[in-house]
Chain A
Amino acid sequence: MILDLMIWSPVIVGLILLLIGKNATSLSYWLSLTTSLLVFGMSMYALSMFKTDQVGIQFELIAPWIERFNINYHLGIDGISFPLILLTTFITPIVILTARTSNKINLHQYLASFMILEGLMIGVFSSLDAFLFYVFWEAMLIPMFIIIGIWGGENRVYATIKFFLYTFLGSVFMLIAIIYLYISTGSYSIFDFYNLDLSRMEQILIFLAFLFAFAVKIPMWPVHTWLPDAHVEAPTGGSVILAAILLKMGGYGLLRFSLPITPAASNELSMLMVVLSLIAIIYIGMVALSQTDMKKLIAYSSVAHMGFVTLGTFVVFLNHENASIENMNIAISGAMIQMISHGLISGALFLCIGVMYDRIHSREINDYGGVALAMPRFAGLMVFFALANAALPGTSGFVGEVLIILASLKVNFWIALLSGTTLVIGAAYTLWMIKRVIFGSITNEKISNVQDTTAVEFISLIILAFMVLALGVYPEPLMKLMYITLNDLSQLVFAGVGL
Chain B
Amino acid sequence: MTFNIIGSILPEVTIAVAICIVILVNSLLRNASVTLIHSLVLFFLSFALFLSFVSLELPDSNIFDGHYVIDAFGTNLKIIALIAAILVHLGSFKSKQNIKNEIFLIQLFATLGVMILCSAHNLLTIYLGLETLTLSMYGIVASNRNSIEATESAMKFFILGAIASAIFLYGVSILYGVTGTLSLDLIKDSILLDTLEMRIAVAFMACGIIFKFGAFPFHSWVPDSYQGSNTTAAIYISSVPKIGAFALISRLFLDSMNTMSDFWSILILSAGLLSIIIGNLIALVQMNFRRMLAYSAIGHIGFILLSFSIVNTDGIGASMTYLIMYLIMTIAAFALIESIASEDHQHIELGDLKGLSKSHPLIAFMLLFCMFSMVGIPPFIGFYAKWIVLSELVNNGMIWFALIGIIMSVIAAYYYLRVVWFMYFENNDQAIGNNGILNAQSITSIMVSAMLLLIGLYPNPIIQYIRSIISSFLLID
Question: Contact: B410 with A172, CB < 8 Å?
Answer: yes
Is A164 an interface position by the 8 A CB rule?
A: yes
Is B288 an interface position by the 8 A CB rule?
A: no
User: Residue A176 contacts which of B375, B390, B425, B467 (CB distance < 8 angstroms)?
Assistant: B390
Question: With a CB–CB cut-off of 8 A, which chain A residues contact B442?
Answer: none
Q: Which of A1-59 contact B (CB under 8 A)?
A: 18, 21
The CA-CA distance from A72 to B1 in the complex, in Å, is 50
Is B220 an interface position by the 8 A CB rule?
A: no
User: Residue B420 contacts which of A145, A172, A175 (CB distance < 8 angstroms)?
Assistant: A145
Is A67 an interface position by the 8 A CB rule?
A: yes
User: Residue A139 contacts which of B378, B417, B425, B467 (CB distance < 8 angstroms)?
Assistant: B378
Question: With a CB–CB cut-off of 8 A, which chain B residues contact A65?
Answer: 458, 460
Is A156 an interface position by the 8 A CB rule?
A: yes
Question: With a CB–CB cut-off of 8 A, which chain B residues contact A161?
Answer: 414, 417, 421
Is A432 an interface position by the 8 A CB rule?
A: no
Question: Contact: A175 with B387, CB < 8 Å?
Answer: yes
Question: With a CB–CB cut-off of 8 A, which chain A residues contact B409?
Answer: 172
Is B20 an interface position by the 8 A CB rule?
A: no
Name the distance in Å between B360's Cβ and chain A's nearest Cβ.
13
Interface of A is mostly: helix
Name the distance in Å between A204's Cβ and chain B's nearest Cβ.
15
Name the distance in Å between A63's Cβ and chain B's nearest Cβ.
11
Is A373 an interface position by the 8 A CB rule?
A: no
Question: Contact: A138 with B395, CB < 8 Å?
Answer: no
Question: Contact: A164 with B463, CB < 8 Å?
Answer: no
User: Residue A69 contacts which of B379, B390, B391, B410 (CB distance < 8 angstroms)?
Assistant: B391
User: Residue A157 contacts which of B387, B413, B421 (CB distance < 8 angstroms)?
Assistant: B421
The CA-CA distance from A141 to B417 in the complex, in Å, is 12
Query: Which of B361, B390, B425 gathers the greatest number of chain A CB atoms within 10 Å?
Result: B425
Question: Contact: A66 with B406, CB < 8 Å?
Answer: no
Q: Mark interface residues in B452-463 (1 if CB within 8 Å of A CB, else 0).
A: 000000111001
Is B203 an interface position by the 8 A CB rule?
A: no
Q: Which of B269-288 contact A (CB under 8 A)?
A: none
Question: Contact: A182 with B464, CB < 8 Å?
Answer: no
Is A428 an interface position by the 8 A CB rule?
A: no
Q: Which of A51-88 contact B (CB under 8 A)?
A: 64-69
Question: Contact: A146 with B413, CB < 8 Å?
Answer: no
Q: Which of B360-378 contact A (CB under 8 A)?
A: 361, 365, 372, 375, 377-378
Question: With a CB–CB cut-off of 8 A, which chain B residues contact A149?
Answer: 420-421, 424-425
Question: Contact: B413 with A164, CB < 8 Å?
Answer: yes
The CA-CA distance from A64 to B463 in the complex, in Å, is 14
Is B402 an interface position by the 8 A CB rule?
A: yes
Name the distance in Å between A377's Cβ and chain B's nearest Cβ.
36
Question: With a CB–CB cut-off of 8 A, which chain B residues contact A21?
Answer: 361
Question: Contact: B394 with A176, CB < 8 Å?
Answer: yes
Name the distance in Å between A147's Cβ and chain B's nearest Cβ.
11
Question: Contact: A165 with B413, CB < 8 Å?
Answer: yes
Question: With a CB–CB cut-off of 8 A, which chain B residues contact A134?
Answer: 378
How many residues of B sit at the interface, in one of the four size bands? 20 to 34
Question: Contact: A146 with B410, CB < 8 Å?
Answer: no
Question: With a CB–CB cut-off of 8 A, which chain A residues contact B406?
Answer: 172, 175-176
Is B407 an interface position by the 8 A CB rule?
A: yes
User: Residue B417 contacts which of A145, A150, A183 (CB distance < 8 angstroms)?
Assistant: A145
Number of interface residues of A (CB under 8 A): 33
Question: Contact: B379 with A180, CB < 8 Å?
Answer: no
Is A179 an interface position by the 8 A CB rule?
A: yes
The CA-CA distance from A160 to B421 in the complex, in Å, is 10
Query: Which of B403, B458, B460 gathers the greatest number of chain A CB atoms within 10 Å?
Result: B460
User: Residue B379 contacts which of A139, A157, A165 (CB distance < 8 angstroms)?
Assistant: A139
Known contacts: A69-B391, A161-B417. The answer to whether A138 contacts B383 by CB under 8 A is yes
Q: Which of A149-199 contact B (CB under 8 A)?
A: 149-150, 156-157, 160-161, 164-165, 168-169, 172, 175-176, 179-180, 182-183
Question: With a CB–CB cut-off of 8 A, which chain B residues contact A182?
Answer: 391
Question: With a CB–CB cut-off of 8 A, which chain B residues contact A180?
Answer: 394, 399
Question: With a CB–CB cut-off of 8 A, which chain A residues contact B372?
Answer: 142
Q: Which of B378-409 contact A (CB under 8 A)?
A: 378-379, 383, 387, 390-391, 394-395, 399, 402-403, 406-407, 409
The CA-CA distance from A21 to B463 in the complex, in Å, is 35
Query: Which of A134, A138, A183 gathers the greatest number of chain B CB atoms within 10 Å?
Result: A138
Known contacts: A66-B460, A68-B460, A175-B387. The answer to whether A169 contacts B421 by CB under 8 A is no
Question: Contact: A176 with B365, CB < 8 Å?
Answer: no
Known contacts: A176-B402, A176-B403, A179-B391. The answer to whether A135 contacts B378 by CB under 8 A is yes
Q: Which of B402-439 contact A (CB under 8 A)?
A: 402-403, 406-407, 409-410, 413-414, 417, 420-421, 424-425
Q: Which of B9-47 contact A (CB under 8 A)?
A: none
Q: Which of A74-120 contact B (CB under 8 A)?
A: none
The CA-CA distance from A202 to B299 in the complex, in Å, is 31
The CA-CA distance from A13 to B166 in the complex, in Å, is 58
Question: Contact: B463 with A138, CB < 8 Å?
Answer: no
Question: With a CB–CB cut-off of 8 A, which chain A residues contact B413?
Answer: 164-165, 168
The CA-CA distance from A139 to B463 in the complex, in Å, is 21
Name the residue on B nearest A161 (C-beta): B417
Name the residue on A nearest B361 (C-beta): A21
The CA-CA distance from A479 to B37 in the complex, in Å, is 73
Question: With a CB–CB cut-off of 8 A, which chain A residues contact B391?
Answer: 69, 179, 182-183
Question: Contact: B377 with A141, CB < 8 Å?
Answer: yes
The CA-CA distance from A165 to B377 in the complex, in Å, is 12
Question: With a CB–CB cut-off of 8 A, which chain B residues contact A67?
Answer: 460, 464
Name the distance in Å between A115's Cβ and chain B's nearest Cβ.
15
Question: Contact: A66 with B378, CB < 8 Å?
Answer: no
Question: With a CB–CB cut-off of 8 A, which chain A residues contact B361?
Answer: 21
Question: With a CB–CB cut-off of 8 A, which chain A residues contact B424?
Answer: 146, 149-150
Name the distance in Å between A177's Cβ and chain B's nearest Cβ.
10
The CA-CA distance from A139 to B373 in the complex, in Å, is 11
Question: With a CB–CB cut-off of 8 A, which chain A residues contact B407?
Answer: 169, 172
A–B pairs, 8, beta carbons within 8 Å: A66-B460, A69-B463, A134-B378, A135-B379, A138-B378, A157-B425, A165-B410, A179-B402
Interface residues of B, Cβ cutoff 8 Å to A: 361, 365, 372, 375, 377-379, 383, 387, 390-391, 394-395, 399, 402-403, 406-407, 409-410, 413-414, 417, 420-421, 424-425, 458-460, 463-464, 467
Extra inter-chain contacts (11) besides given A68-B463, A141-B377, A150-B424, CB under 8 Å:
A66-B459, A66-B463, A135-B383, A139-B377, A146-B420, A149-B424, A164-B417, A165-B410, A168-B377, A176-B402, A179-B394
Top-6 shortest CB links A-B: A135-B378, A149-B425, A172-B406, A169-B410, A179-B394, A179-B391
